[in-house]
Amino acid sequence: MDSQSVAGILGGIVAAIVLVIAFAYGPMGPMGKSKPAAAPAAQTAPAAPATPGQRGPVIREVPN
């Protein structure tokens, strides 16, 4: 047994463990997802207009 075959065997074991964990904890299509609760009713008109989000920092040129 050389190091490449040992690495291949260990890689296969690690891949199998990762797949088992992914199937155990991950949602499996639409059957794995829980049904969402009743959607909240949409508001007809907002109470106040939305303010624009904050913009990034202002970068000014600095004289040398």
Spatial neighbors of 16 by CB under 8 A, at least 6 apart, are none
**Distance in angstroms (rounded) separating the CA atoms of residues 1 and 9:** 11
Kindly report the CA angle at 31 between 28 and 32, in degrees rounded to 5? 50
Buried b / exposed e along 9-48 (16+ C-beta atoms within 10 A): eeeeeeeeeeeeeeeeeeeeeeeeeeeeeeeeeeeeeeee
Query: What is the residue-level pLDDT of the chain in tens, covering all 64 positions?
Result: 899 999 999 999 999 999 999 888 876 666 655 555 555 555 565 566 667 677 778 778 888 7
User: What predicted TM-score, i.e. pTM, was given to this entire model?
Assistant: 0.42
Reported in sequence order, the residue ranges of the chain that DSSP labels E, i.e. its strands, are: none
